Amino acid sequence: MSVSQEKIELFTKKAEAVSAVVKRIGKLDEAYAYAVDVCLNKDACQLLLSGCENAISDEASDLCVAKAADKVMAAPKLADEQYAKLAKAAEKAGVKLIADGLRGHLAGIDIGFAVADLGLAETGSLVLDSSSEDLRLSTMISEINVVVLPLSKLRATSYEAEAELLPMMQKAPNYLAFITGASRTADIERVLAIGVHGPLELHILLWEDE
Partner 1 sequence: MQTAVKIEEYLQEVEESLGNEFQRKALDTFAVAYRTGRANAFTGMDVKGLIEEIAQAKDDGIRRMDELYQQFKQKAESMGVHVHLATTAEEANRIIARIAKDNDCKKVIKAKSMTAEETHLNNHLEAEGLKVVESDLGEWIIQMRGEGPSHMVMPAIHLSRYQVADLFAGVTKKEQNPDIQKLVKVARRELRKEYVEADMGISGSNFAVVETGTIGLVTNEGNARLATTLPRVHVALVGLEKLTPTLHDALRILRALPRNATGQQITSYVTWITGPNECKGAPDDKKVMHVVFLDNGRKKLAKDKDFAQILRCIRCGACANVCPVYRLVGGHKYGHVYIGAIGLIMTYFFHGKDKAKFLVQNCVNCGACKEVCAAGIDLPRLIKEIHAMIQDEDGHPAQSKLMGMVLKNRTLFHTLLKNMRWAQKPFAEREGQYIRHLPTVFMKEKDQDFRKLPTIADKAFRDEWKSIKPEVRNPTLRVALFSGCVQDFVYPEQMKAAVKIIASTGTVELDYPMKQSCCGLPVNMMGEKQAAVEVARQNVQAIDPSKFDYIMTMCASCASHLKHSYPKLLENDADLAPKVAQFADKVIDFSSFIHDVLQISSMKFNRSGKRIGYHAPCHLCRGLEVREAPREAINMAHDYVPTSEEEVCCGFGGSYSMKFPAISKTLLAKKMANLEAGDIAAVATDCPGCVMQIRGGMKAAGKDIEVKHVAELLAERLR
Q: Is 7 in the site for partner 1 (CB under 8 A)?
A: no
The strand pairing partners of 150, in sequence order, are 207
Rounded to the nearest whole angstrom, what is the least distance from the CB of residue 196 to partner 1 in the complex? Answer: 5
Q: Are 175 and 118 in contact (CB under 8 A)?
A: no
Instruction: Reduce the DSSP state of residue 62 to 3 states and report it.
Output: helix
In degrees rounded to 5, what are phi and psi of residue 74? -120, 140
CA–CA distances in Å: residue 165 to residues 45, 130, 153, 168, 173: 35, 13, 12, 5, 14
The residues in 52-111 that bind partner 1, with binding defined as CB under 8 A, are 54-64, 103, 106-108
Among 80, 81, 189, 210, which residue sits at the site for partner 1 (rule: CB under 8 A)?
189
Radius of gyration from C-alpha coordinates of the chain: 17
The residues in 106-135 that bind partner 1, with binding defined as CB under 8 A, are 106-108, 122-125, 131-133
Among 50, 93, 96, 208, which residue sits at the site for partner 1 (rule: CB under 8 A)?
50
Enumerate binding residues for partner 1 (CB under 8 A).
14, 17-18, 50-51, 54-64, 103, 106-108, 122-125, 131-133, 136-137, 140, 158-159, 162, 165-166, 169-191, 193, 195-198
